[in-house]
Amino acid sequence: MLPLDIFLSAMANGLMMGAVYALVALGLTLVYGVLHIINFAHGATLTAAMYAVYVAHAMLGVDPYLALPGLAAIFFALGYLVQRWVIGPASHGDDSNILLVTLGLSIIMENALLAGFRSDTRSIDVPYGFSVVEVGNLFLSTPKLVAFAGSFVVAALLWLLLARTDTGRAIRAVAKEKTGAALVGVRVEHIYAVTFGLGAACLAVAACLLMPTFLVNPRIGNAFVLVAFTIVVLGGMGSIPGALIGGLFVGVVESLSGLYLGESLGQIGIFLIFILVLLARPTGLFGARA
């Protein structure tokens, strides 16, 4: 057995990474829950957001945390516009078309980023990149702690929006009863676009929280989205608590399997558990029973 301290620090690292996974999964599950489509452009959007953080820092000298509110707003607006004037009109109300349109968008975005930034892996250098906080015997990376806390704040804000505002109620109404929503005067296309924008904004926040300790290349988003898909299925498609708890769980599993099986096999644990969940409880931990 490994010493307890190492185990605990792996747990803590897993939880911190898991919170960011949760944030990525949150955007995915929200869009799935309301529009009933898998957004294949989710990964490319995350990559684009990470490059946006990179450009803001490297060229404009803006700290990632300071860039967060602005980038979240910009990505919300971009998500809104893309859904309202590209995905929506191009899909003609057919879900399989939406799937293809988002897939096409992801290919365009990835290749545009590849053309613009080359395939080099890049990172940013912030003064607090390696600073740590001492908790008991554990040394926790400060930017990762910020990412952990930041993810929870975003999840809480999202929950407040959905539970307490009329826009949030309209989002939940459209998710289950489109015609009923239209008949109380909800503009369904607008709500779709708002939801898509929220999904993109989640990614912008995730990118700002990730970049101080992470790197970016034109395909980086896919690594996250594969994990996020697992989390969404694990937690139950469309479930927000499911995404949050699933994200933390997957982060811990990945970190612990990395500890016991070796770093390169870290993700094996995730997929083992994923297969077990699919066999035992296909609707996910928080999914509605069929």
Partner 1 sequence: MLEVRDLVAGYGGVPVLRGVSLDVTAGEVVAVLGANGVGKTTLNRCLSGLIRPGAGSIRFEGVELVGQDAADIVAAGLIHVPEGRRIFPNMSVLENLELGSYRRARPRRAANLARVFSIFPRLAERKRQFAGTLSGGEQQMLAIGRGLMAEPRLLIMDEPSLGLSPLLVEEMFTLIARIAAEGLAVMLVEQNVVQSLDLAGRAYVLENGAVAMSGPAEALRRDPTLMTTYLGL
Which residues would be at the binding site for partner 1 (CB under 8 A)? Answer: 166, 169-170, 172-173, 175-177, 179-187
The residue with tokens 């747990």 is: 11
Q: How far is the CB of 5 from partner 1 (least distance, A)?
A: 45
Q: How far is the CB of 129 from partner 1 (least distance, A)?
A: 43
Q: How far is the CB of 187 from partner 1 (least distance, A)?
A: 5
Q: How far is the CB of 180 from partner 1 (least distance, A)?
A: 3
Q: Convert 107-172 into a string of H (helix), E (strand) and C (coil).
A: HHHHHHHHHHHCCCCEECCCCCCCCEEEECCEEEEHHHHHHHHHHHHHHHHHHHHHHHCHHHHHHH
Select from 92, 93, 122, 100 the least CA-distant residue to 41. Answer: 100
By beta-carbon proximity to partner 1, the closer residue of 274 and 286 is: 286
By beta-carbon proximity to partner 1, the closer residue of 5 and 94 is: 94
Q: Nearest-5° angle of CA 162, CA 21, CA 137?
A: 115
Q: How far is the CB of 46 from partner 1 (least distance, A)?
A: 28
SS3 content of the chain, % helix, strand, coil (to 5): 75, 5, 20
Task: Yes or no: say if 106 and 223 are a contact pair by the CB < 8 Å rule.
Answer: no
By beta-carbon proximity to partner 1, the closer residue of 91 and 239 is: 239
Dihedral angle sign, alpha carbons of residues 81, 86, 92, 98:
negative
By beta-carbon proximity to partner 1, the closer residue of 190 and 219 is: 190
Q: How far is the CB of 114 from partner 1 (least distance, A)?
A: 41
**Radius of gyration of the chain measured on its C-alpha atoms:** 19
Tokens of 69: 């509110």
State which amino acid sits at residue 71. Answer: L
By beta-carbon proximity to partner 1, the closer residue of 163 and 278 is: 163
By beta-carbon proximity to partner 1, the closer residue of 10 and 181 is: 181
